[in-house]
Structure 1
Amino acid sequence: MKILVFGKTGQVAQELQRQADVTALGRDAADLSDPAACAAAITAHQPDVVINAAAYTAVDRAEDEADLAHTINAQAPAAMAMACAQGDIPFLHVSTDYVFEGSGTAPWSVEAPIAPLNVYGQTKAAGEDAVRAAGGNHVILRTSWVFSEHGNNFVKTMLRLSETRDALSVVNDQIGGPTPAGGIAAALLQMAQAMHGGQTGGTYHYAGAPSVSWECFARETFVAAGRDIAVTGIPTADYPTPATRPLNSRLDCSTLTTDFGITPADWKADLAAIVHRLTS
């Protein structure tokens, strides 16, 4: 099975390359700010399956770069999905919990209405709509709070800050599922194999369990690192950012288990392994 991956240096893209023999396209080979080039790459490579693991993910900067974020997160996936539909190629696209407005405490089902609070979420929601509208066999896999030993993420930020500080204040009223990039990659590869074999896709959720606050996630990171850092929980209101974040990012992953037999694992074991590699 020939798998073409858009993205090369991102967290999930690097895990896809580590776990499978894939062709991964970086910006030099397929710039998502040029949607036509993305469609052309699919035609040129003639893959059996396409995975889009690339995105504009600078959540706060997107508030000032809405046009660029829309091109990368909506127009490029639209071009990819249409090329895949025309070639009868299964298309898997990574999305985000930020398509939800974040009220309440119940996990969001895949059928729940979306209402993104920020530009990043709005562009990702537009990308989802475009992928569905293309009409091909597709998966939209929403995930949350991605971490790994690659790229930029919360775990690496906490470890870096703890090298020069002995106390940190971390938001405690945003709740979600920390999700190892390796688990997302493994799920995508399993789904790709099933769809290559004829299974129909749809919209699914993949998020680590259990759901926790950023404060709790920070504490667990420092425990894994063996670092004695005092963590104080603060409300989101005390840590203003350009982009509004959802307070409830819990995701209901049950349909992924029902349709593909994939159940997200407890993230703590992955966290311990990743922190060990980062600090050894």
Structure 2
Amino acid sequence: MACLFLHRSPWRGIAAALVLSAACLSAPHAGALELPRARSVPGGVAIVDLGTSAAAPQAMLDGEPVLVVGEGGRWQAVVGIRLDAGPGMRELVVRHEGGAEARLPFAVGPVRYAEQRLKVAPGKVDLSAEDLARHEREREHLAAVAATRSDAPPASLRMRPPADGRRSSSFGLRRVFNGQPRNPHSGMDIAAPAGAPVVAAAAGRVIDSGDYFFNGGTVWLDHGSGLLTMYCHLSAVDVKPGDLVAAGQRIGAVGATGRATGPHLHWSVSLNRAMVDPALFLDEGGGRK
């Protein structure tokens, strides 16, 4: 089924792996949160130890603020790593209150994702002039939605599956539509019957809903500090921008709208503006396969 979308390191030096979520500079989370599973690869999450201090430090990766969480004066950065990032060393720019700026390295390891070949309607690959113009308009709007960052920290960094069903396509798959390579799969597909309920993976605020050329019926949720989730191909949308939803609350229904080969839910997680593997946020380590 198809769809398109748009470490611990010592303070002084050597990198090692692990970061988690996105951007809370002005209001870092001061309480203990259960972190997602760390996987410091492209499309993964790294957890970086920032050391101890009375006040929460600020952290940035490539100019983007990164989520900082802590308890008892010990702080960690939770970092989303972009799918198009290459393996090697990366640096967090860290500022402690009243202190100098420091650069904290961490390692990003290599990863190889599988390839998937799919057959869809020709008009969903070779776009008409009208459809291309629509896609360009939507892409600009969706880029602005994806850039949302609210200061409030997430209530949770663990999520529940947003639909019951088999995982039919995993994050990172290299997609080939009708023989033409396209961007890697930026989410998790869950196979479920048309009309099956789709629920919020975590508590949040609705920041966008609509019907898009590739994504079909879509809902975006903001969970705070740069942690967002997206739900696509919906046959029904039950929420509107501005609504506050609880974890597990119904937000829509499974469908096959947009570019899809059959009913399913495409679910994406974005952290500091990087699409990352949703399976890292699930307690059961990825959902039913």
Higher strand share: 2
Tell me the TM-score normalized by structure 2.
0.26
Scaled by the length of structure 1, the TM-score of the pair is 0.26
Structure with higher helix content: 1
